[in-house]
Amino acid sequence: MMDVMTTAPPSLDLDREDLVEDAERLRLATTRLARILRQETHTGLTPTQVAALATLQRMGAVPLKALAEAERISAPTATKVVDKLAEVDLVERLPHPDDRRVTLVSVTPAGHDLLAATRRHKTAWLATRLADLSPTDRSRLLDAVEVIEHLVAPDAAGSASPTDDIPVVTTTATGTGTATGRPVKSARTTKTAKEGTP
């Protein structure tokens, strides 16, 4: 069984039945859409493996511990995921330029290509569904997307993202690199990494 780290749910005013019902509808709808999109990957990878690959693309070359923390999974689970991705040449292990005790994990060109193809396929599937909507419904949906984007954005108080405190190593074409205090993409990371999702 996969060992997943969880956090306590936020406090909620259960007297607000309308709020709870709206939240339940939103949760169900977004969960169903996410499940459908996962099924549209057709990569032969598990959802956990695809998510880890996308996270590595976003973060750049990082230690295994950093990946585990970002994905909120245990270190042993992260190791198994990386092993599977490495077997099919989607990620590679690199020596840390400053600490030989640390091994970095980085996405390979094949991994970048797979993520790009996956995103194109998901976008195409969504486009076909949008084409079936009336102009009015499409407009309403896009208005809702703006609200959802606001909901999932970092809060106004400036809470840190899972990768804000993780040192990331940038690698150059010669394989050397430096550790920084903020996420910086490796030389192999493409511009699609900013999407942060598969």
pLDDT tens digit sequence for 117-132: 999 999 999 999 999 9
The stretch 69-74 carries a mean pLDDT of 95
The stretch 152-166 carries a mean pLDDT of 51
In the block, residue with structure tokens 């640390």: 102
The predicted pLDDT at position 190 comes to 40
**β-bridge mates for residue 170, sequence order:** 178
| Mean pLDDT, the chain, integer | 79
* Burial of residue 134 (number of CB atoms within 10 Å: 0-12, 13-18, 19+): exposed
- C-alpha 196/C-alpha 198 separation (Å) is 7
Q: In this structure, are residues 54 and 115 in contact, taking their beta carbons and an 8 Å threshold?
A: yes
Whether 50 has a pLDDT exceeding 90, the answer reads yes
Q: In this structure, are residues 121 and 137 in contact, taking their beta carbons and an 8 Å threshold?
A: no
Q: pTM of the predicted model, to two decimals?
A: 0.67
Q: In this structure, are residues 196 and 183 in contact, taking their beta carbons and an 8 Å threshold?
A: no
* Burial of residue 115 (number of CB atoms within 10 Å: 0-12, 13-18, 19+): buried
Side-chain half-sphere CA neighbours of 97 within 13 A: 16
Whether 68 has a pLDDT exceeding 90, the answer reads yes
pLDDT band at 179 (very low <50, low <70, confident <90, very high): very low
Q: Which domains does the chain have, with CATH numbers?
A: 25-133+162-195 (1.10.10.10)
What 8-state DSSP symbol labels residue 178?
E
The predicted pLDDT at position 12 comes to 59
Each residue's pLDDT tens digit, 95-120: 998 888 899 999 999 999 999 999 99
